[in-house]
Amino acid sequence: MVKERKEDIVRGLESGANDYITKPFDPQEFRARIMVGIRVVELQQQLISAERSRVLAQAAGEAAHENNQPLTVLLGTTQLLMMHTSKEDENRQGVEDLFKAAKINAIIKKGSDIRRYATQPYIDGVDIADFDAASADEF
């Protein structure tokens, strides 16, 4: 009987169980095992959250790096065009619009400052990355 019980325990653990309780069990031991299980789940959730933050920060940093240089050149060139285009010039409005569009650089900068995983609700129950919250220093 004892040998069968041990084999059952080993088989259960080898099959993927995290714990195995046999009858009769002690209520104090049972509560302690439940608390251990809760701690394991909490640690797994923390690990998932940390991994999400790491992946998000890496992806945002890469995107920021890839987009920042061309946007900086575009912004600088547009500023030069604005300096050399009179307000009466028919192309002035287009240059100003281009300058405003080139300011996307600030959004890219936020992406490079991401420190943690944070989302905000979007439409149809979809969550999207929240760059402001993700790049904030406070946790």
- Tens of pLDDT along 33-48? 999 999 999 999 999 9
Instruction: Please tell me the total count of domains within the chain.
Output: 1
Choose among 88, 97, 136, 96: nearest CA to 116: 136
Residue 6 lies in a domain: no
Q: How confident is the model at residue 49 (pLDDT cuts 50, 70, 90)?
A: confident
Whether the pLDDT of residue 123 is over 80: the answer is yes
Whether the pLDDT of residue 138 is over 70: the answer is no
Whether the pLDDT of residue 129 is over 80: the answer is no
For the ranges 60-64, 69-73, 82-86, the maximum mean pLDDT occurs at 82-86
* Cβ contact 105:84 at 8 Å: no
Domain that holds residue 70: 28-135
Residue 15 lies in a domain: no
Residue 59 lies in a domain: yes
Residue 62 lies in a domain: yes
Interacting residues of 60 by C-beta distance below 8 A, sequence separation 6+: 111, 112, 114, 129, 131, 134
Residue 3 lies in a domain: no
pTM to 2 decimals?
0.52
